[in-house]
Structures are given as structure tokens and as C-alpha cells.
Amino acid sequence: MMFRALIAGAALAALAACNPGPKDAPAEPVAEPVAAEPAPAVQMEEEPKLLEMMQGTWQSLEDPMNVFTISGDQMSSVYNDEPLGNETITVVADCTAMTPDADGMSFTLKADGDDEARCFSIIDAGADRLDYSYSARGNTLAHKRMTP
């Protein structure tokens, strides 16, 4: 829309310049075309989304043999270098409704054979720390980042 107004203004200015008008009339200044407004700056997110932040390998602070790696929406757990299995992560608004929400601060884990997903609420999430609470028990699980 702004582009059409700019073109129309330029066309009117060109027509006015071609028409000399009456000889006695003072010359009217030709209006400068209105410059197009600059495109709005791309908005950068203030914080990374939860799933993006969780990517990498994490080690339990309570039991160093308990390690998991999150890659995409998959969590692979290992205990004492023995694979325990994979689960799918879904970020949700909260553990009550468990509605998927990319901006949520809770997540569910579900293995292929599970009937229902387990839900966890984030307590602390940072570059090097990930603490969450298992909603069914209320216990807090604390982890430190091993690799990004």
C-alpha cells in the first residue's frame, strides 16, 4: 500500500512538472515523494525456547552415573554406561492440562511402550544447570551440563 502511494505521488509530481501552468503564476514547489518506511527490525527472542536450551548431555548431581542426552525431541538415558532407552520430549504449558506449548516451562517424557506421558515442571534452566520436578512425586531432579 505504501509503495502504491509512493508511485502515485511520483506520477503526480511528474505531471505537474510537465504542465507549465499560467505564465503569471508563481512556480509551485514540487512535493518530494514520501520515502518508504524502513522494514521493522527482526525481533530476536529474549530467551531460548525450553527444548532448544535443553539440547546436549546432562549428568545428575545426585548420581553421576545417571546421564542423558537430548537431541531434537529425543532423550536417550544411560546409567553406568549402559543404555536405558529413548523417550520423546514434548514441551507443554503446564502439567495439569499437558497442552503442547513451545513457550511452556514444563515438559513430558513418553517412551514407545508407555500408556501415559510423565510430566515435569522446570525449577531452574540455564546454560549449565537443569533442575526439574516430577509432578507425580514432587521430587526435584538436578543436573549439570556435560556437553552443549
Q: What is the pTM of this model?
A: 0.65
What is the rounded CA–CA span in Å between residue 138 and residue 23?
90
55-69 pLDDT, tens digit each: 999 999 999 999 999
Residues of the chain with pLDDT under 70: 1-48
Q: What is the pLDDT of residue 25?
A: 52
Q: What is the pLDDT of residue 10?
A: 41
Q: What is the pLDDT of residue 16?
A: 45
Q: What is the pLDDT of residue 5?
A: 39
Nearest of 76, 77, 141, 89 to residue 118 by alpha carbon: 89
83-94 pLDDT, tens digit each: 999 999 999 999
What is the rounded CA–CA span in Å between residue 136 and residue 113?
19
Q: What is the pLDDT of residue 12?
A: 40
Angle, CA of 42, 45 and 46, to the nearest 5° = 130
Strands (E), 21-139: 56-60, 66-71, 74-79, 82-92, 106-110, 118-125, 129-134
